[in-house]
Structure 1
Amino acid sequence: MNETYRVELAGDDAVVVRIARQEVPWFVDEAYLMTEARAVGVPTAEVLGLEHLDHDGRLLSFSVQQFLPGRSLGELVGELSAAELERLVLDAGEILARVHSVGLEDRGVRHVLRLPEEHEITRVAGIVREAFGSAEAAVVERGAEFLRRQVTTRAAPPVSLVHGDFCPKNLLIHDGAVVGIIDWEFAGRTAPAYDFAQWEVDAGEVLQDRLDLVRRGYARIADPESAEAGWTPPFAIDWALEKLGWKNPASPAQARRCLDVIARYTTPWTQGG
C-alpha cells in the first residue's frame, strides 16, 4: 500500500520513511494514535515528522519515524525455543491490553461487521469451490449465515482503540523482548475482538492456534473475555470471508486457514441448531 524505506543518516543514525499516494493527506490519524498508545506504555516508534506535497499533480504523504531495531516475530518463529516463543506472545498479549485501554475520539479506520451480501458470498463460494471443492464452498455459505445472525440479533460490541493488524509480522523483537509494534495504518476505534480475530486468522502456522497465550498475557492488565465479549468469532469469520474474496488471491495456505477458522466456529453452531 505504501513505499517504506530505511534511511541511513550521518553518525550511524537511521529513520524510517513511508510514502503514501492517496487522494487525502495520509498518516495523520496513524501518528496521533501511535502517540496515544505510547503514552500508556505501548512500544511504538516516535513519529518525527509528517509532510504532504503535490508532485506532478498528485498528493504524496510522507511519514518520518524513529527506526526501531529488531526482527519481526513472524521471521523468528522457527528460530526460537517453545519457551521463548511463549514468553514473547504473553508479553504481546499484555501490550495488546494496553492498546485497548486507550480512550480517545473516533479517529482512524473503523472496522465494522458487515451484513454479507448474497452476490458477494456467491462469488466467494464459487472461488472456493473451484479451488477446494463443494464441501468447502458450503463452509463459506455457513459462515455467511452465522455472520448474518450475529449482526442482526446481537447488540453492538464494545469499542476501544485497536491496532488493526495485530499479528506476529508486526511485532519487533530485539534482545529477547518485544520492542515495538509497527504498521498502525489500520488502527482505529472499534471492537477489541477485531485484534484477537486478526491474530487467529493471520498469525501463521505455529502461532495461529495459540490465541490462548495472547489472552493469558492480556489478563495481566485486563479481562480478555470482557474485552472480546464473544465477538471474536464473528470478526474472524468476517475477515476470513473478505480474504477468500480478494481479487489478488490469498495464498493456498491462507485460504485454507480462513476455511478452517470458519468451520471451527460454525460447526458447533449448526449442530446445535
Structure 2
Amino acid sequence: MDEVEVVVAHSERATLRVGDVFLKVDADQARIDAEVEAMSLAPVPTPPILWRRPPVLALAALPGTTLGRLGGPSTGSPAAWASAGAAIRTLHDAPLPPRPGRAGRSVAALAAELDEECEALVVNGVLPADLVARNRRVAEAALRPWTPAFTHGDLQIAHVFLEGGEVTGIIDWSEAGRGDALYDLATFTLGHEEHLDDVLAGYGTDVDLDLDVIRAWWALRSLLAVRWLAEHGFDPFAPGCEVDVLRSRM
C-alpha cells in the first residue's frame, strides 16, 4: 500500500495524498460545496473529482509540477510563468460565479480587518511597529473600488501545475468567487516578485494593471496572514516568506 503523505494540515482542514489520489478533509461543508462549484465553472484545467463523501473530497493528482513555493527557489522558464499568467487571465475573463470569494471582501470590511490585525501585531510584539506602519501605508492602495472578476482567491504558485510549459491544472478552489483580479496576481507572485513581468507578459497588458495595487496586496496579504500562520503551525518568519515580503517593502 502507498504511504500516506500529509500535504497540509491545520485545525480547519487537512489534505492527504495516497498514491495518485488527494483526500481533502474539511469540517466546513459549505467550503467544500464552494470548491466543487468553482471547479465546475472554471474555464481552466482542474483536478478530476473521483468521489465525494462528506467531509472528504477525493481528487485525482495532476500531471506536471509547480513553479515552486513561497520561501523556496522559483523554478520554470519565463515562458512557463507567462503560460501561468495566460491561464489566470482566462479565469479572470470568465463569466462571474454566483458567490463572492476571498478576493471579494468589501473595502470597508477589509480595511477594518487590516486595522485590527495591524494593532494586534504591534500590541502582541509579533512585528516591530515601524514595519507594520510602513506596510499598512503601502497596503492602502489596495483599498479601492475594483471590477469583479472570477478569482481563485488562494492562487499560490504551489496550486498551479505545469508540464512542458503548459498549465495542466489548478488546485484548491475553496476561496474562489467574485473578487479583485489583482489579488490573484499578487498572491501568485508573492515572494517571487522577479517573475511578475513574466506573468504579466502572459496575462496581457490590455487591461487596467496597477502595479502599485499589486504591491499593496503583497503587503496587505502578508499583514493579515502572519498571526494566522504562526497559530496554525506554519512559519511566516522563514526566509522568503511573509515577514521577508513585509521587510522588502521597507
Question: What TM-score do you get using the length of structure 1 for normalisation?
Answer: 0.70
Shift of the alpha carbon at 1:48? 3.5
Partner of 1:66: 60
The equivalent position to 1:208 in structure 2, one of 167, 174, 193, is 193
| Matching residue's letter, 1:124 | L
Superposition pairs of residues 193-232 of structure 1, within 5 angstroms: 193-201=182-190, 204=191, 207-219=192-204, 223=206, 225-226=207-208, 231-232=213-214
Q: Secondary structure at the match of 2:46?
A: coil
- Structure with bigger RCO (C-alpha 8 Å, 6+ apart): 2
Q: Per-residue displacement from partner, 1:152-202 (whole Å, max 9, x unpaired)?
A: xx4x1111111122232112233453311112222221000111111232x
Find the partner of 1:2 among 4, 8, 13.
13
1:35 to 31, 34, 40: 40
Aligned to 2:16, what secondary structure does the other structure show? Answer: strand
Q: Give the letter for the 2:185 counterpart.
A: F
Given residue 89 of structure 1, which amino acid in structure 2 is its aligned partner? W
**Matched residue of 1:72: which SS?**
coil
Instruction: Give the Cα–Cα distance (whole angstroms) in 1 for the partners of residues 217 and 84 of structure 2.
Output: 20
Shift of 1:95: 0.3
Distance 1:227 1:7 in 2: 40
Query: 2:166 aligned with 1:177, yes or no?
Result: yes
Output one character per residue of 1:98-118: Cα deviation in whole Å (capped at 9) or x when no partner: 110121233263332511565
SS of the counterpart of 2:194? coil
Aligned equivalents of 1:102, 1:79: Cα separation in 2: 28
Contact 2:141 2:216 in 1 (8 A): no
CA root-mean-square deviation: 2.9
Distance 2:27 2:136 in 1: 34
Conservation of the 8 A alpha-carbon contact between 2:31 and 2:174: no
Gap regions ≥5 residues in structure 1: 9-13, 53-60, 130-136, 264-273
- 2:52 is aligned with 1:47: no
The AA in structure 1 aligned to 2:96 is: L
**Residue type at the aligned position of 1:209:** E
Gaps of at least 5 residues in structure 2 are 1-11
- Of the three residues 101, 111, 120, the one matched with 2:93 is 101
- 2:246 aligned to which of 227, 237, 259: 259
| 1:234 corresponds to 2:216 | yes
Amino acid paired to 1:96: I
Answer yes or no: is the 8 Å Cα contact 2:150–2:181 preserved in 1: yes
Tell me if the contact between 1:241 and 1:258 (Cα under 8 Å) persists in the aligned partners.
Answer: no
Deviation at 1:121, TM superposition (A): 1.9
Contact preservation (8 Å) 1:72, 1:168: yes
Q: Secondary structure at the match of 2:24?
A: strand
Separation of aligned partners in 2, 1:208 and 1:233 = 9
The number of equivalent residue pairs is 225
% identity of equivalent residues: 24
1:115 aligned residue: 111
Where does residue 127 of structure 1 map in the other structure? 126
SS for the counterpart of 1:252 is coil
- 1:88 partner SS: helix
1:261 deviates by 4.8
For the residues of structure 1 that align with 2:53 and 2:218, how far apart are their CA atoms? 35
Aligned AA (1:105)? P
Q: Is the 1:157–1:231 contact (alpha carbons within 8 Å) kept by the matching residues of 2? A: no
* TM norm structure 2: 0.76
